Structure 1
C-alpha cells in the first residue's frame, strides 16, 4: 500500500483549519478517501481469523495516522491534532459513506482512550500515540467469571505492596482483542469486599508483565476474539494507576459514556455500511417482499438511533457528563447490530448456511463470524435487561420491581 503523500502533506498544513471547521475536515477527508489508490484493497479485505485482520487493520491505521486523518478529535499531547468528538464522529461517517470498514482497533480505543487521557494523562501521552497509529492495542479487563455486569462485586484484588506499588491477583474474562493486546486496563479491588464500588481502582498492566497469563477463548465462529486473563502476583508500579486509588468507579462511569456514546455511534455508521452492501445484494439476487419491508424498517431504526446517538456525541464534545440516557443508545445500537445480521442471514440463507455462490471462503467466514458475534450484542457491555432497568429507574421513575 502507498498513501497519497501530497494529500497528507496538505492535511498536516491545514491542521488549524480542520480543527476549527469540521465541515472542511469532513470534505477533504472524503476527497482523500475517494482518491485513495488502495481503497479497494481495504474495502474488500476478508479474513478467516482475528489475528490477520488486526495486523491488516494496524497497517491501515498507520497510513491514516501518517496522513493525519484519524488524529483529529484527539488531544495533541496524546498523539492527536486537537478537535472534539464531533471530528471522530465525522471520521466514522466518512468511512461508512466510502463503504470502508472501521479498523478493529478503534472499537477498544474509543472506549479506553478517553478515560485514560482524562484520569492518567501521563500514560495517555506515552502510549496513546502508538494506539492511534496501530502499533499497539489494549484489552478492557472488567468482567469476571462470577460477577459479569456486577462490577461492584469484583474479586480481582490489587494489594498494597508496602513499597508504593501493588500486587495484582485474580481472573478476568471476555476481554475483547485480549489474545493480541499489548496492555490491559484492569479494574481491581483495593478496598474491602464490603466497600463494593467505593473500593475499586483501575490500572494499566502490560500483557508481558511476569504473572500475566492470557488464554484465548474460541467463539462459536472459531475465531479467537476474546480472552480470559489471569493475574498471579503481578507487580504494578503506582504510576500505572488510572485515576485515584479507590476511585476506579469514577473511571468506569466516565468510560461507560464513551462505550455507549462514541462506540455506539461508530457501530451505527458501520450498520449503514452493512445495509448498503445488503441492498446491493438484494438488487442483484432479489429478496422477498417481507425482507424488503424488514430492510426498510431496520434502515429507519438505524437512522433514528444515529440521530439519538448524535446528541450524546455533541454532549461529550461539550464536556458534559452523559448519565443514564446513554442506556438508550446502548439498547438501540445493540438491537440494530443484531437485526441487520439476522436479515443478512435470511436474505442470503443459501450462501450463509451452505456456501452456495460464495466467491471466497474468507468472505463467507467473515459474514458468518459477524452473525455469531452479534448474538452477544444485547448482552455484552451491559445486557438489554440491565439497560431497561436503568431507564425505568433513573429516567422514567417507574416503581421498583418486586423481588
Structure 2
C-alpha cells in the first residue's frame, strides 16, 4: 500500500465513522477517548499498519503510522500527547522485550486496551538521568525495586510502566523493567500542573517484586534503552504534535481575521507559521529517515529545540492577538498557553538539547 493510497482510504473511512470526542475535557475523559479511537482504528486495521507481524501488525513503512497520527490530530479526535505515547513505548518493547512478551503486550497498547507510562525522572535526576537512584536487587528469580520516580506522565491511568533502575554504578549499571502498576508496593500520587490538569504523578516503589522475565534487555542495557527511546519521542510524536499545532494556528487566524491587514498582527502570524513550517520540514526528514530504516540518534535534539520554539511562539502570538483571552478566561487557549511553557522542558530541556547538538553533532567539545 502506498502512503498516498493509505491516506486517501483512511480519510474516507474516518469520514464514514464518527469518532468525535465529547465535550468533557477532564483528563479521564480524554484518556477514555484515546482508548476509544485506538480501539476503533485497531479493529479496522489502520492502527496495525507500520508495525511488524510479530506484534500483530500488518507491516508497511513506519511512515503509515505518522500519517495515521496526523489525521487523528488534525481532526481533533484524541489528545495528541496521550495518543502519541504508542510511538515512544511500543518501539522500545519491540526492541528490548523478550519476543513473547512483546507479542503479548504491544497489541494491548495499540488496541487501546491499556495505557502505559515511563518511569525515568527522579527528584534530582531529571535532565541528569544517569544519576538516578531507584535501585533493583536480585532475589532468586525476581528483582526487588525500591525508590521514587517523578513527573511520570499519566501514571495514575496506566496499566504498565517501563522503569529505569540502578543495578550497579555508572551508565552501565542502569537496567530497565516492564512493571505492572497494580503490583503491591507501588503508590501513585498525581501532580496538578499549572494548567489545571493531572498530567503527571509521583510513583513510589516500596520493595516491589518484579519477575526476572520482565527485564527489558539484559542487566545494564537501561541507558542504551533510554537513548533509543528518547529519539522516538522526538520523531513521530513530534509529527503528531506539529499537526495539532497547525490546527491551532488555523483557529488563531480565524479568530483574528478582523485584524488581518494590520502589519503587526500579520508579522506575528507569519513568524508563528514560519516556526511551525520549519519544525514540519525537519520532522519530515526525521520521518523519512525512520521510514528508510535509519537509526535515530542525537540529531533528533534539533527536532526537540524546534518544537519547543514553535509551540511557545504560537501561543505567545495567541496571547498577543487575543486580548484577555488567556489572562481572564478559562478556555482552551489559556490551558494550552500554560502547557506550552513546558515545551522547552518535557522530553529533555532545550539547554540539554543544545549541549547535545554542540557536543555530539558539531563536535564542539565540553566547554
Q: Would you say the 8 A contact 1:261–1:312 is kept in 2?
A: yes
For structure 2, the residue ranges without an aligned partner over 5 or more in a row are none
Task: Confirm whether residue 109 of structure 1 aligns to residue 86 of structure 2.
Answer: yes
Structure 2 match to 1:151: 129
Matches within 5 A, 1:231-246: 231-246=205-220
What secondary structure sits across from 2:136 in the alignment?
Answer: strand
- The more displaced of 121-130 and 166-175 is 121-130
- Match for residue 63 of structure 1 among 10, 31, 40: 40
Matches within 5 A, 1:245-324: 245-283=219-257, 288-324=262-298
Measure the CA separation in 1 of the matches of 2:29 and 2:69: 22
Shift in Å, 1:142: 0.2
Structure 2 match to 1:398: 364
Q: Would you say the 8 A contact 1:149–1:381 is kept in 2?
A: no
Matches within 5 A, 1:68-83: 68-83=45-60
Structure 1 match to 2:104: 126
- Match for residue 326 of structure 2 among 328, 341, 352: 352
What secondary structure sits across from 1:376 in the alignment?
Answer: coil
For structure 1, the residue ranges without an aligned partner over 5 or more in a row are 1-17, 356-360
Task: Confirm whether residue 183 of structure 1 aligns to residue 157 of structure 2.
Answer: no
- The more displaced of 200-209 and 107-116 is 107-116
Measure the CA separation in 2 of the matches of 1:321 and 1:165: 33
What secondary structure sits across from 1:349 in the alignment?
Answer: coil
- The more displaced of 319-328 and 279-288 is 279-288
Task: Confirm whether residue 33 of structure 1 aligns to residue 14 of structure 2.
Answer: yes
Measure the CA separation in 1 of the matches of 2:25 and 2:10: 30
What secondary structure sits across from 1:122 in the alignment?
Answer: helix
What does the per-residue CA deviation read over 1:40-97, in whole Å, with 9 as the maximum and x for residues that have no partner?
x33xx44442112111221122112222222211222323221222111111333345
What secondary structure sits across from 2:170 in the alignment?
Answer: helix
Measure the CA separation in 1 of the matches of 2:23 and 2:309: 25
Measure the CA separation in 2 of the matches of 1:218 and 1:164: 38
What secondary structure sits across from 1:187 in the alignment?
Answer: strand
Structure 2 match to 1:140: 118
Root-mean-square deviation (Å): 2.0
Shift in Å, 1:98: 4.0
What does the per-residue CA deviation read over 1:105-140, in whole Å, with 9 as the maximum and x for residues that have no partner?
323221111011111133221122121121111111
- The more displaced of 305-314 and 133-142 is 305-314
Give 1 or 2: higher helix fraction. 1
- The more displaced of 237-246 and 285-294 is 285-294
Q: Would you say the 8 A contact 1:327–1:391 is kept in 2?
A: yes
Shift in Å, 1:382: 1.1
What is the number of residues matched between the two proteins?
366
Measure the CA separation in 1 of the matches of 2:14 and 2:185: 44
Structure 2 match to 1:167: 144
What secondary structure sits across from 2:204 in the alignment?
Answer: strand
Structure 2 match to 1:367: 333
When residues 99 and 213 of structure 1 are mapped into structure 2, their CA distance, relative to the original with a 3 A threshold, is closer
Shift in Å, 1:255: 0.7
When residues 112 and 381 of structure 1 are mapped into structure 2, their CA distance, relative to the original with a 3 A threshold, is same
Q: Would you say the 8 A contact 1:166–1:237 is kept in 2?
A: yes
- Match for residue 379 of structure 1 among 332, 345, 349: 345
Shift in Å, 1:100: 4.5
When residues 103 and 392 of structure 1 are mapped into structure 2, their CA distance, relative to the original with a 3 A threshold, is closer
Q: Would you say the 8 A contact 1:147–1:154 is kept in 2?
A: yes
What does the per-residue CA deviation read over 1:337-377, in whole Å, with 9 as the maximum and x for residues that have no partner?
2222222222223333323xxxxx7xx1x432222222111
When residues 59 and 276 of structure 1 are mapped into structure 2, their CA distance, relative to the original with a 3 A threshold, is same
Measure the CA separation in 2 of the matches of 1:118 and 1:155: 25
- Match for residue 388 of structure 1 among 349, 354, 357: 354
What secondary structure sits across from 1:227 in the alignment?
Answer: strand
Shift in Å, 1:323: 2.0
